A and B are shown apart, each in its own frame.
Chain A
Amino acid sequence: MSSEPLRFRQRAEELAAPLPGLLAEAEHLAATIQMGEHGRRRSGAGDEFWQYRPAMPGDPVRLIDWRRSARSDIHFVRQREWQAMQSVRFWADPSQSMNFASSKDLTTKARRARLLVMATAILLQRGGERVGLLGDANPPSANKAALLRMAETLFVMGSEAEYGAPDAPELQSNSQLVLVSDFLGDLASLELVIERAMARGLRGAMVQVLDPMEVEFPFEGRTVFQSIGGSIRFETQKANALKSQYYDRLKERQFELKDLAKRAGWLFETHHTDTSAASALMWLYQALERGS
């Protein structure tokens, strides 16, 4: 009689089991970056004192700081730092090509991408920003439950597509976008999204996550290359001869992405899964700070 709830709970636990892992890892990563309150360096609505400035005509009387004004002959207005909350929307590529790690010691690109996203979200949430996933029906939120929900969604998401592209039906203004992918597929849909974001004045950052094997191309002899989804095959008789051509193509692709980012006023960075995730997180965090 108690089997029904029992099974339900069991399933819930099964589902939840890896979740703390991702979350904990992301928390751990986020802890490597020390940060204070995430101020905007301008006066505005907020709790923190920003500056005194001489009262101007038109300032409401209640804004005058009498204690400061009493020490001089003019009136001073006490200004607070502007701490308007921002919303940041993330996209981690869920496509098949991300599920790849060239060696057992390395994490898959997908996992690294999710980790980066999650850790950045945690940092931002601590700074009081609202975070959310691109394409999520819920509005970005600044509470912890939103983080948990994000982690859950990141964990279960996946796509049959060989290469992924963000799709952004609605984009709010006054928010930032973070796109994490390997950007190895067709760039057309990506360009579309960025153009739309540009139109709304959104800023953002792109992180290209690559496996070292994709950078080094360490193949020799007769080789059949197959995409992770298995839908694309390419055969060569002498893989090492293709090395330089492959390098050129990869460079070209990265140049295109950088160019795209530049045009939109975005930032672009390449991250390899064999390097530390903390450096990428640092870059991403600073990029977001700069962008606001």
Chain B
Amino acid sequence: MASLLPISFAYPWLLLGLLALPLLIWLLRAVPPAPVLQRFPAVGLLLGLKDDEAQSDRTPWWLLALRIFALAAVIVGFAGPVLDPKTPPAEGRGDLLVVMDSTWASAAGWSRTRTTLEAELEAASRAGRRVAVLQLTDGTTEAPQFNTAEHWLAAVPSLVPHPYEVGVDRVLERIEGIEGNELDVFWMSDGRNWQGREDVLAALEELGPVRVYETGAPIFALAAAEFQDRAITVPVLRDVTVSAEGLSVAVIGPDPSGVERVLLQTPVEFDGGSMETEVVLELPPEIRNRITRLTLTGQNHAGAVWLSDDALKRREVALFSAQSEQEALAVLDPLHYLRQALVPSTDLIDGAVAETLLANPDVVIFADIARLADEDNAALIEWVEKGGLLVRFAGPRLAASDLSRAEEDPLMPVRLRAGGRTVGGAMSWGQPRELAPFAAESPFFGLEVPDDVAITAQVIAEPDPTLSARVLASLKDGTPLVTRKELGNGHVVLFHVTASARWSTLPLSGLFVQMMERLAISSQGMPLEEQKLEGTVWTPKQVLDGFGQIGLPSAELAGVKGEQLAEAPLSAEVPPGVYTSEDRQIARNVGVDAEQLLPMDWPTRIPVDGVVVERPQPLKGILLAAALVALLADALAALMLSGKLRREVVHGAFAAAAVMLFAAEDARAQEELPPLDPKAYAATREVVMAYVETGDTAVDEVSYAGLYGLGLVLNLRTSIEPAEPIAIDLEEDELAFYPMIYWPITPEQPLPTPAAYAKLNRYMQKGGLILFDTRDADRVSYRGTSENARKLQQLARQLDIPPLEPVPDDHVLRRTFYLLSDLPGRYYGPDVWVEAAPADAERAEGMPFRNLNDGVTPVVIGGNDWAAAWAMTENGNRMFTVGRGRGGERQRELAFRFGVNLMMHVLTGNYKSDQVHVPDLLERLGQ
């Protein structure tokens, strides 16, 4: 890569092509543009004219310049220029002290740090300067030694960032030990203002002038993950407000076959300028327990990894107790205290033994269970041998049984003496026994024994050569209280007391919960400091390096004491990683908080390099685009010069191109508008009555004419001014816009589809009204005999029609506008049916109305052929005769009145029925 600062080229030899440019100049100047053939009648007038100048057959200079620019841009573009404004390492005199933060945060821009370091060392090597490199985080305490720059160049690959913070005290000591003359200090900072940075800066400035280099690489880091409400919450932090696009939290753990893979990936989003956000991961418990770590994708430093430990896990615990026949008080339930202790931190499983084992719980707890079925026993043994933990509690049944009496049962850690013992009871002498402090090798070591734990009864282990090795806790008199034995890869633990408070007060004490924790039955997810870690020794199982990679611990890293693990800051002695002790796991993570990410604000006297440096910018695309534009302009200019294009056309072309660009976007925006249903538009502009299309043209025409005629009458007499009626197709059209639907019944009409039925039911629920008209009142005087009526029954079978009754005399339908005693149509049928009033409707004032749907009946059913009575032609003539003579006209009038009342009823609801309260209101007003 040849470098021509600040631009470097990927293929510099391509630049030789620039030498061809003069040739191009000569060629272009030699060739005149092609002439245009122009038909021109007045050519006769031109004959004999002479061109006054011969220069115009050459390409104009600006066109030449344009073409040369285009070609040069292509040549330079393909040579792969990269804008990389790297400042060269400064020259200096004397010795050079390179100080490297090399914390986890420097890992983010490490490759750039490394190339800069190499460049600096190369410069020092050219100048023959001696160099010392001081890594602020390496574990040593010695002052750095000066050596040749070549020596350090060779050592560069071994300089790696470490996954912890700078230990300031130690660093200050080391700086004091530095000896050198005329020191220059070159400080490769990670950009953060870590605690003590100012002190280190002051110490370094005493040695000599300080220059600072920062990569400026953005840092995204994970803070402490928490288990909350069955989900894992991980705060994500950043140090500068750069886009977090493409950043996500990956949950990594073994899949069922044991291969480690990404279990879940959730994108990270920051709000505007906020520096912190939270990612919530919801996982089923099985998967949650498999999580080994969370990482931020694309971030290669230790702060972007969160190793999981028991705190993120919820053990699955299966609880079994001997079934008690009688219902007992909850506090007497042998499992009550266990549940109380375990519920906050574990997932409990209940069920039969065989089924439960299939769910592969982490722990199985037996409370006072003596015998199991043989196959359950075998399955349990197999499960324990594969690494399960079986915890048993003693109790009356266990004591009474002969389990593990003569011979040790595989699922019992010890043999038991018959009967057990009772101490301190009413019928015995002696005091209740207390717990002895835990032995050093016990997993409970370090737990404080409270005074108030008293044991009144227990089962006694048969003395045995192996017994003492199996005791985890004992009483002050030496009798074992908790024993454990290994079985295969798993353990069997026996508490020699009950899980309830019957035999001891142990389950009532806080110690019980801590013991459960130590046995890894539960893990509280408490902060490390609060967990009782004293007296435990933890061995690192996995450690993180500065780049966030997981590796095995180095050989010299011995076990870490519990206190240290809990409290000491991360350092070379306590690197972040997963530590194990017994069955428990604790992870130490970098666990960044917002303060750790504060950027360093260097004093103005310190020169800072590199922060502004963005990543190198390839210029190829820009140059090639410029060349393309230039060539396009050239094409236009050539056309213009040769007269094929007039200037206006060129301007027009540009304008057209611009317009098309915008128009294309506009068009896209317009395409997204949904089409407007003209029927819905018409129906929502005004009040519209609708009728159902039966498919019988004659009936449909009458329906239309009927509603049209009713509309005219409504217009004349009321404030309802309906628009033209609309025919609706039950399958296709939305019904919600129509206050009333007239549905004449014909025997031939098809049954609606289920979707249409659903629509109809919804329509009626939401306050719509359907007027069913069987149009057969002339033929039948009692219901259900005509084929129309049978069809109606068929149609209505799937409709959600409420109980019906003939319109009672006091129904609001009879009085919404006119007072009506009859509801005739073309025929004078016996009954018109509406929704029945509820049985408990009070007949106060003789006006029972259901207060549902504003009192509007969802259906009106009759056979009076109202549409025929209402039917009018366009010019207002009646289409059908009704009755005979004057009586017939009266009947038609009543039919219209029914229609008016119906529409009023639909549109005003129970408003009219409220009128019954008028006398009361007037009375209250004192009128």
Contact = CB atoms under 8 A, between A and B. Distances in A.
B47 A234 contact: yes
Given A213-B40, A239-B643, A241-B53, A223 B35 contact: yes
Interface in B74-126: none
Interface string A176-199: 000000101100000000000000
A227 B44 contact: yes
Contact of A236 (B39, B42, B49, B642): B49
Nearest to B34: A222
Contacts of A241: 51-53, 56
B35 A224 contact: yes
Interface string B619-651: 000000000000000000000011100100000
Contact of A226 (B38, B52, B642): B38
A20 to B, nearest CB: 29
A125 B36 CA distance: 47
B37 interface: yes
B676 interface: no
B642 A222 contact: yes
Contact of A237 (B43, B47, B57): B57
B53 to A, nearest CB: 7
Contacts of B329: none
Contacts of B52: 238, 241
Nearest to B33: A222
Main secondary structure of the interface of B (DSSP, over half): loop
A250 interface: yes
A227 B641 CA distance: 23
B40 A227 contact: yes
A225 B51 contact: no
Contacts of B46: 225, 234, 236, 242, 246, 249
Contact of A185 (B32, B38, B44, B641): B44
A225 B57 contact: no
A184 B49 contact: no
A235 interface: yes
B918 interface: no
Interface in B24-64: 32-47, 49, 51-54, 56-57
A57 B646 CA distance: 78
A100 B807 CA distance: 90
Interface in A80-113: 97-98, 100, 109
Contacts of A250: 42, 45
A223 B36 CA distance: 5
Contacts of B33: 221-222
Interface in B560-618: none
Contact of B47 (A109, A221, A232): A232
B67 to A, nearest CB: 17
A105 to B, nearest CB: 14
Contacts of B38: 219, 223-226
Given A220-B643, A222-B35, A214 B53 contact: no
Nearest to A100: B41
Nearest to A239: B643
Nearest to B57: A237
Nearest to A228: B41
A214 B34 CA distance: 23
Contacts of A211: 41
Interface string A149-185: 0000000000000110000000000000000001011
A234 B57 contact: no
A226 B36 CA distance: 10
B54 A246 contact: no
A245 interface: yes
A218 interface: yes
B41 A221 contact: no
B51 A226 contact: no
Nearest to B46: A234
Contacts of A245: 49
A253 interface: yes
B347 to A, nearest CB: 85
A98 B56 CA distance: 32
Contacts of A233: 43
A184 B643 contact: no
Contact of B45 (A228, A235, A249): A249
B41 A227 contact: yes
A237 B51 contact: yes
B49 A242 contact: yes
B643 A224 contact: no
B88 to A, nearest CB: 53
A184 B57 contact: no
Interface string B681-708: 0000000000000000000000000000
Nearest to A242: B49
Nearest to B58: A237
Nearest to A220: B643
Contact of B41 (A184, A235, A242): A184
Contacts of B49: 234, 236, 242, 245-246, 249
A172 to B, nearest CB: 32
Interface in A40-75: none
A9 to B, nearest CB: 38
A172 B54 CA distance: 55
Contacts of A163: 44
A53 B33 CA distance: 80
A237 B41 contact: no
Given A222-B57, A223-B643, A246 B45 contact: yes
B43 A225 contact: yes
B51 A238 contact: yes
Given A234-B47, A237-B54, A224 B37 contact: yes
A245 B54 CA distance: 17
A231 to B, nearest CB: 10
A234 B38 CA distance: 10
B51 A219 contact: no
A140 to B, nearest CB: 30
Interface in A241-274: 241-242, 245-246, 249-250, 253
* Chain B CB within 10 Å, residue with most, of A98, A226, A250: A226
A97 B41 contact: yes
Given A234-B46, A241-B53, A214 B41 contact: yes
B57 to A, nearest CB: 5
Contacts of A222: 32-36, 56-57, 642-643
A232 B643 contact: no
A109 B42 CA distance: 12
Contacts of A182: 41-42
B27 to A, nearest CB: 18
A224 B57 CA distance: 13
Contacts of A223: 35-38, 643
A185 B47 CA distance: 12
Nearest to A231: B43
Contacts of A213: 40
* Chain A CB within 10 Å, residue with most, of B40, B41, B42: B41
Nearest to B52: A241
Nearest to A109: B41
Given A241-B52, A245-B49, A250-B45, A221 B40 contact: no
A218 B644 CA distance: 12
Contacts of A246: 42, 45-46, 49
Contacts of A221: 33, 35-36, 56, 641-643
Contacts of B34: 222
A184 B37 contact: no
A233 B38 CA distance: 10
Shortest Cβ-Cβ A-B pairs, 5 listed: A238-B56, A97-B41, A222-B35, A225-B40, A225-B43
Given A222-B35, A235-B35, 11 more contacts: A97-B41, A211-B41, A220-B643, A221-B643, A222-B643, A225-B39, A226-B43, A227-B43, A228-B39, A241-B52, A253-B45
5 contacts: A109-B41, A222-B32, A223-B37, A236-B46, A241-B52
